[in-house]
Amino acid sequence: MAELLGRRAELDTVDALLSRARSGRSGALVLRGEAGIGKTALLETARLAAEASGFRVESSVGAESEAQFAFAGLHQLCAPLLDRVGSLPAPQQAALGVAFGQRSGEAPDRFLVGLATLNLLAEVAEEGPLLCLIDDAQWLDQASAQVLAFVARRLAAEHIALVFAVRDPLGDSEARVLPAVDGLPELCLGGLDEASARALLASALTVPLDDRVLEQIIAESRGNPLALLELPLSVQSVQWAGGFGLPPLDVPRRVEESFRRRVGGLPAETQLLLLVAAVEPTGDAALLWRAADHLGVAADAVSHAESAGLVEIDAQVRFRHPLARSAVYRDAAPPDRRRAHGALAAATDPDADPDRRAWHRAQAVLGPDEGAAAELARAATRISARDGLAASAAFLEHAALLTPEPSARARRALDAAQAKHEAGAAESASELLTLAAAGPLDALQQVRLELLRAQIEFHRVRGGEGLGMLLDVAKNLAPLDPALSRETYLDALDAAIVTDGRGPGRGVEEVAEAARAAPAPPGSPRPADLLLDGLVTTFTQGYAPGVPAMRRAVAAFAGQAAQADVVRDSDIRRWGWLASRTAMAVFDDELGLALSARHVRAAREAGALATLPAALLVRSVMLVLAGEFTRAAEHTEIAAAATTVPLLHAQLILAAWRGRPDETAQIHATIIEEAAAQGGSTEVSLAQYGLSVLHNGHGDYPAAQAAAARAFESDELRHSNLAHSELIEAACRSGRPESAAAALAELCTRATASGTPWGLGLAARSRAMTTSGPDAEEHYREAIEQLSRCRMSTHLARTHLVYGEWLRREGRRQDAREQLRTAHDLLSDMGAEAFAARAAHELRATGEHPRTRAAQPTDALTAHELHIARLVADGATSREVGTQLFLSPRTIEAHLRNIFRKLGITSRRQLRELPLP
């Protein structure tokens, strides 16, 4: 790779990235450093080296004035590649088309856009290695940053290298952080060493330099290359001789200041032309010339800027450095900025690019302007349809500020606040609510404002006053919007369950009592209506009266009831989390498994990235209880692939059931730390449930009893029936059965009311552990008979274990061996290592050695590889598997080669013939 002065190590890192991509091992790299430190120069060197070695190179440059346009940066990168979009699956084609404004349609989720982008880049890389360069990435719009980071984390075998250059915000309050790329491999650029800095400065000098001045420049530049190169161009030669008149140096601002001084010396027409170029970051030269003509600026005005080394213009407009653009934009007077934006609005085709035209027009006006505000509001609707939530919020906010008529201004401010809240900008949303509150608002708008305030408050402090505010809003909505009122009551009830009703007088029962005032459904009951009614009945009248209604609601969500024809995927995505937990509350394993599967499927098919983790969490827990540990692990991997957010609770519960104390402790510590920061309580309770399983598995019953008791205090853990049986077993085995009396009574009552094998089996086992003599054995046998009829294999296996332990204590060694042998086989096969070790220990105490599990070829596969093998064995193509796992087909093929090698096979047909666990 061509040499950059003082950057040998950095060049080697980039060269290694390119070499790996060339050989089929894709990767990503984030270059970090202060302004002017050499990130752009390193990108350009990488470009030249890549092109010389056969790479195709595409690039995108973030721009401050473009940061509100959703997918603008992504479109800049992908536009030259869109001739290959026809090779993508139809949903991915549609996602990109809608995101780029090329077709209408429902808003695609960003992960679906990300998957389409990954596959588009992979298709291009089939023809040869591909290098993607993203400069000034801190100015990328949020949607593009998230999608490109999504792609970067999934690169594997596609011959692709992706490099981001991000300005380090330290010492530069104007630079933005870019959390989307956190966790990717980084290369932090520091200043040049002294020898390299001297050599670089010497190369830029046109006059001799006094030694004292040289030492000052070298010391205070801290090796910043752009400072060393630009300062000699911006300081008069007479100032160099003795150093008099040189201002104190301040990197990186001094670099931008040098560009400002250079711009300030240009003719007024040239400065105006540069300003137009600075506020139109797509680099469209034709658009620039149309805007210049509108301003009456002659084309030859650009020659002065080109001579000053600030810009190059041919078919595209390119500033010499992003700081040059920044200097031009920030130094311009507000009236000049408005003139530039106005010219661009006039030059932009309203049919081809109405959103950008609306934005420029809005920036061009001074004071309220209904025409500009209305155009912005229409653009916000279009942008929202393309999933540009942050951009839509920005457009709506500006529209509200430009609106002269008070009621229209209040309405637009309310819409903007809603969009800001959904985009995660709670502080901005609160400020806009203040503007909206100035009114006038009609009654429904006023309650919508109160609802948004309640939601913001609830998310700011989990529980507290926010829960009460939700209830007040639900009540006020009843005569105005009955359907929204009921949804708000259901939100409040779910919130009370999840937060354990924290806040004065806001327990689950109190919230349910308040929700009894919900208006009747305005039409045929929706699944959400059935769920609200079932939960309200349960928490106000008791579990038994509520079971039938809860079961009807869950069946409706699962599509297994008369209401199934009206259930919508949007209902599943929004309420599937609560409905799945309610299936657990009525001990319905079949409905719980079916609904959790449908929730995951609906979230994935719609690309609902926000709801996917919750869906995967419940699905994973259900699969763990069903003894399908490997499939549960696959779901945690899917969550990491789709969202980059690990399912810590699913991971902890799985690690606990597998009996892995170190792994469980590590995840538990992370959960506790995060819960403390976020004010979580159910998170801690769920973690305590995991610890109770771990300790029960290892036979540390006092520790299990303490953890289970804390879990049992949680409304959520009691609602989903997770904590009861763990507390009862731990209490009985630690010699304190009385401490589990309440849990036993509640479990038995619920089991009788539900009438399901899962509930009746758990209750029978729990009664057996608190009973002695023939009655105990009768209960154990009943538990095994009931649990054998449901899919909760973990509980069946553990029932054989505790029954065998009881038989051995009774001196019936032969009978004990049969139960313990069955328990050991079941627990070993599912991977419940600690419980299996407990069974093995008991077997040895009866005089029998437990069997050793025979090694299987598939033992060599990772959980990820086993998941891929299962999908392929079921007939899925590499593209279909990649779509499910958010990877490119080439990466799936690479995994398949490893799978074939480990299994000693050579074809998909042989894979289908193998027994896969």
In the chain, the percentage of residues whose pLDDT exceeds 90 is 38
What does the pLDDT look like over 39-70, one tens digit per residue?
Answer: 988 999 999 999 999 999 999 988 776 777 77
**Which of residues 133 and 198 earns the better pLDDT score?**
133
The Cα–Cα gap between 510 and 531 comes to 17
Q: Is the pLDDT of residue 99 over 50?
A: yes
pLDDT in tens, 233-255: 554 443 444 444 344 445 456 66
Task: Record the pTM.
Answer: 0.69
613-658, pLDDT tens digit by residue? 788 888 999 999 999 888 888 777 666 555 544 578 888 999 999 9
Q: Which residues contact 348 (CB under 8 A, 6 or more apart)?
A: 287, 356, 357, 360
pLDDT higher than threshold 80 for residue 193:
yes
Radius of gyration of the chain (CA): 32
Return mean pLDDT, the chain.
84
Instruction: Give the per-residue pLDDT at 853.
Output: 62
In this prediction, residue 28 has a pLDDT band, given cuts at 50, 70 and 90, of very high
Checking if the pLDDT of 104 tops 90, the result is: no
743-763 confidence digits (pLDDT tens): 999 999 999 999 999 999 999
- The pLDDT-based confidence of 389 (bands split at 50, 70, 90) is low
Mean pLDDT of 432-447: 89
Q: Which pLDDT value is given to residue 374?
A: 92
Q: In terms of pLDDT, which residue wins out, 551 or 463? A: 551
Residues 471-520 pLDDT 10s: 888 998 899 999 989 999 998 888 888 776 554 446 888 889 999 999 99
* pLDDT (0 to 100) of residue 70: 78
Helix 629-643 with 878-885: angle, nearest 10 deg: 80
Q: Name the more confident of 67 and 671.
A: 671
Task: Give the pLDDT of residue 175.
Answer: 45
Residue 241 pLDDT: 43
pLDDT tens, residue by residue, 867-886: 888 888 888 888 888 877 77
Task: Please compute the mean of the pLDDT values over residues 737-744 and round it to a whole number.
Answer: 91
Measured distance CA(906)–CA(916) in Å, rounded: 16
* Calpha distance 354→492 (Å, rounded): 40
Report pLDDT digits (tens) over 798-823.
Answer: 999 999 999 999 999 999 999 999 99
pLDDT at site 386? 59
Torsion 355-357-360-365 (CA) sign: negative
Give the integer Cα–Cα distance in Å for 880 and 644.
21
Q: How far apart are CA 601 and CA 441, in angstroms?
A: 40
pLDDT tens-place string over residues 602-611: 776 655 555 7
Percent of the chain topping pLDDT 70: 86
Would the pLDDT of 461 be above 60? no
* Residues across the chain: 917
Residue 77 pLDDT > 50 = yes
Of 48, 148, 49, the residue nearest 99 (C-alpha) = 148
For residues 72-101, average pLDDT = 88
Q: Do 657 and 832 contact (CB within 8 A), yes or no?
A: yes
Scored b (16 or more CB within 10 A) or e, 728-756 reads bbbbbbbeeeebbeebbebbbebbebbeb
